[in-house]
Amino acid sequence: MGKPAASRARQQARFRRRRQALLITSCVFMGAFGGLFGILGRNVLASPPSFLASFGKQPSRPQSILVLGIDDNYDPSGKKVRNERARTDTIMLVTVLPEKHRLHVLSIPRDTKVLVPEYGTEKINAAHALGGTERTKEVVENLTGLQVDHVVEVSLSGAIEFLDSMGGVDVFVENPMHYTDRTAKLFIDLKQGWQHLDGRTAVGFARFRHDALGDIGRVSRQQHLMHAVEQKLLNPINWWRLPQMAAASGKLFSTDLTAGELGELANFGKNRPAISYTTLPGDFGYNGYWIPNRGRIETLVAKLTEDAKPAKQDVETAASVEILYGSQKEQAATKVAAALSERGVLVVRTAPATNGTSTATRIIGRNGNPVHEPALAALMPNAPWQMSDDTTPYSADYTLVIGPDYR
């Protein structure tokens, strides 16, 4: 009798461990997507059976999710005022590509010049103030040519609480940042270099726009902050914070995604899909406008449409890489080049980054090569990926930028 009882006890222990492992895996992904897209929003809490029933299914098709960061408004006394028609501080179009196990984030600068139906020419962040979520969705669809399937609205004050619940994040500040706006409750005072930011300073980092690049530099910082959140949430050492993050996320989001749809997205992401970032192609214009480049936008959308098709069988083809490095990073660039060469990747050149643009560490892809991308990710695991919209012929499939934040 002793052996069967012991065997049952071992089986029950194994079952508990498997159940705990599944729960932890699910919570980690939900926490990560909660930080990005609201997986732990009120919709899941309102219908947990539907969510759990869908967890195990994949999204049936590619879909686009519009993520809007909504400004906090204050009255003259400094008290926060709820406003359904506030301007959008952040606009991102997230494309989910189940067949390719990819997720692409298109950041749309809030100063983008658009035509708002019934109101005329405006900066895109005014669309929400003029016509709410539906009008913003319409403007984004007209701008990109992509259908918006769902919308997630993010409260900036809720983002502060959520980032605090995860213990803050580590980000690299390229240049000193100083700005004060007492009316908007925005106080930014950051030194150059790696910094650990709590919720308020992290949101300030993402909202800062008082440098040479204005809103475009701001978009880049938002992407780097999202990548830092992703990296921290998927690190097992931080999983003990999941209950606090789950509680904080309920105040962070509102969305039209159902619990079942959120369950499918959770299953899609539990194996960590490849995430890439792009800023809406365009140029600086008059009166602070960001002028969309229609031709480059069409090229970018064509790439996303191509990525939405079922993946072809991987074929061993040559991949070419250029490596650009920032100050005092030549030795690191040389080591990366040698490691890539050992793995069969052609390094066409290694050179200092001298074009005056940001030298923040990142991987820029032009022609996807699924055979060699794991090698790039393994060598630079903390580098965010960007999709290039450049339409001109280029000598390299990928550009690796090794900046002062490389480690």
Mean pLDDT of 70-87: 63
What pLDDT does 41 receive? Answer: 46
Alpha carbon distance 150, 131 (integer Å): 17
Considering only 60-64, 212-216, 363-367, which range has the smallest mean pLDDT? 212-216
Average pLDDT of the residues in 113-137: 93
Tell me, what's the pLDDT at 230? Answer: 83
Residue 134 confidence (pLDDT) above 60: yes
Mean pLDDT of 186-201: 88
Mean pLDDT, rounded, for 172-186: 79
* pLDDT for res 377: 82
Which amino acid does the sequence have at 402?
I
Distance separating alpha carbons of residues 367 and 381, to the nearest angstrom: 20
pLDDT band at 80 (very low <50, low <70, confident <90, very high): low
Of 156, 163, 138, whose CA–CA distance to 82 is shortest?
156
The mean pLDDT of 27-34, rounded to a whole number, is 41
Residue 324: what pLDDT?
93
Q: What average pLDDT is seen over the chain?
A: 78
Q: Which residue has the higher pLDDT, 249 or 76?
A: 249
Give me 375's structure tokens.
Answer: 């090698």
Greater model confidence, 371 or 273: 273
Query: pLDDT: is 148 or 288 the higher one?
Result: 148
Quote the pLDDT of residue 39.
Answer: 43
pLDDT at site 29: 40
Do β-strands 320-325 and 346-352 pair in parallel, antiparallel, or remain unpaired? Answer: parallel
Lowest mean pLDDT among 237-241, 326-330, 355-359: 355-359
Mean pLDDT value across residues 288-305: 88
385, 275 contact by CB (below 8 A): yes
Total-model pTM: 0.77
Q: Region 300-304: what's the mean pLDDT?
A: 84
d(CA 251, CA 80): 15
Q: Which residues contact 127 (CB under 8 A, 6 or more apart)?
A: 88, 114, 116, 135, 136, 139
Q: Which of 144-158, 228-242, 331-345 has the lowest mean pLDDT?
A: 228-242
Residue 390 has pLDDT above 60, yes or no: yes
pLDDT of residue 6: 55
Does residue 49 carry a pLDDT above 60? no
Looking at per-residue pLDDT, the higher value among 317 and 86 belongs to 86
The values of phi and psi at residue 42, to 5°, are -65, -25
Least confidently predicted of 109-118, 165-174, 175-184: 175-184
Q: How far apart are CA 87 and CA 104, in angstroms?
A: 24
Position with higher pLDDT, 27 vs 96: 96
The predicted pLDDT at position 90 comes to 87
pLDDT at 18 over 50: no
Q: Which residues of 137-162 are buried (b: 16+ CB within 10 A; e: fewer)?
A: bebbeebbebebbbbbbbbbbbbbbb
Share of the chain above pLDDT 70, in %: 74
Q: Are 68 and 89 in contact (CB under 8 A)?
A: no
362, 380 contact by CB (below 8 A): no
Strands (E), 213-256: 253-255
Per-residue pLDDT band at 23 (split at 50, 70, 90): very low
Q: Which residues of 76-101 are buried (b: 16+ CB within 10 A; e: fewer)?
A: eeeeeeeeeebbbbbbbbbbbbbebb
> Is the pLDDT confidence value at 211 over 90?
no
Residue 53: per-residue pLDDT: 54
Q: What is the mean pLDDT of residues 139-154?
A: 93
Q: Is residue 28 predicted with pLDDT exceeding 50?
A: no
| Averaged pLDDT, 200-207 | 88
Q: Is the confidence at residue 172, as pLDDT, over 80?
A: yes
Instruction: Using the predicted structure, report yes or no on whether residue 159 has a pLDDT greater than 70.
Output: yes
With cut-offs at 50, 70 and 90, classify the pLDDT of residue 76. low
Of the candidates 210, 212, 154, 162, the residue with the CA atom closest to the CA atom of residue 186? 210
Residue 11 burial (10 A CB sphere; 0-12, 13-18, 19+): exposed
Q: Which of 51-60, 350-359, 397-406 has the lowest mean pLDDT?
A: 51-60
